[in-house]
Structure 1
Amino acid sequence: MSDTKTPVTHDLKNLFEKIKEVRIAMFTTFDENRVLHSRPMATVKPEADGSLLFLTDKDSAKVYEVNKDSQVNLNYASPDDSVYASVSGRANAYRDEAKIAELWSEHMRAWFPKGKEDPNIMILKVTIDQAEYWDSPSGLLSRAYGYARAVVTGERSTSDDVNEHAQVKV
């Protein structure tokens, strides 16, 4: 086990900056048997209050599952960019036609053919309790620097040279 401390922040801005290009999260809930159940979901946008919003169908298992147990986890990964994040929080499902209209984009029609007026659209709001992210520059120079540092010093890369790693506690 490493003796280095992971930096802790209370600011969600860096987390949102890391995941904004990833867009798809693996959204994990507990099913009716308390077994973890994950599926890909597109993050619509982060809110000013620090929550994350998703659109889903009112009859989906996600809505049923978050109504039974609101604890969820979101995992974001962009291997090409070496960006990873895990977000834990509480989800709730609700319907707000004005907010749905604000969040709507035409590509969502693939899931909601009736458009933003579809009465089956629900908003899943995830209120973040805590998160953790990792961002390792994936460029050749960054990797070469980390390698050279390890060879010369005998020490592995740390978060202050080529890697960025932080916990976010809200």
Structure 2
Amino acid sequence: MSNTDLSNQDAVAKLKELAESIDFAMLCTDMAAKPFHAIPMSTKKVDADGRIWFLSGRDSTHNDNIRRDNQVEVLYSDPSSMRFLNVYGKAEIRRDREILKELYGSADDSWFDGLDDPNLSAIEIAPLQAHYWDVKGNRLVALLKMGWGGVTGSEPDLAQHGDLKM
């Protein structure tokens, strides 16, 4: 596994690629508690500055936790493609109508009563630290390298990982 740290726009691009392609993540709040609070969330977008956006209920436990302590961890995992992302950052709850309008889709009707639902809010996460793990090349090539490593006894370089510095 090779280490490849990325910075600036390369880091934002990698974060965006992974977060939007994996989509679902575990949003961890109340980090000082044992156990901390974790809930699955669907990524609505990653903006040009690398901020991650989710929709959320204003009255939710995780929103309450963010109001008390805005430090959060977001964990993305796609074991089938061997892609992972860990983001530590500061969260803010947003109620701006334009932001909600941009993020809201018809699938969100399962959780909210439309864009005018008074319980609708957005969570904006500004990354402070991020680390990724990603397979090199495509999955088929990685599987072939794993097989070759098993036959030869060598350790194949299948993946890369690194810090994302934005």
The two structures have a TM-score, normalised by structure 1, of 0.84
1:149 Cα deviation (Å)? 4.3
**Matching of residues 1-170 of structure 1 within 5 Å:** 6-10=3-7, 11-30=11-30, 33=33, 35-113=35-113, 115-136=114-135, 137-139=138-140, 141-149=141-149, 151-152=151-152, 154-158=153-157, 162-170=158-166
Gaps of 5+ in 2: none
The two structures have a TM-score, normalised by structure 2, of 0.86
Query: Can you list the C-alpha shifts for 1:54-99, whole angstroms capped at 9, x where unaligned?
Result: 1111111111101111111111111222211111111011210111
The 4+ residue runs of structure 1 with deviation greater than 3 A are 31-35, 149-152
CA–CA distance in 2 between the matches of 1:145 and 1:7? 20
Higher relative contact order (CA 8 A, sep 6+): 2
Does the aligned pair in 1 maintain the 2:54–2:124 contact within 8 Å?
Answer: yes
* CA RMSD between the two structures: 2.1
Query: Can you list the C-alpha shifts for 1:96-141, whole angstroms capped at 9, x where unaligned?
Result: 011111111001011002x0111211110000111111122432x4
1:31 Cα deviation (Å)? 6.6
Instruction: In structure 1, give the amino acid aligned to 2:127.
Output: I
CA–CA distance in 1 between the matches of 2:75 and 2:55? 17
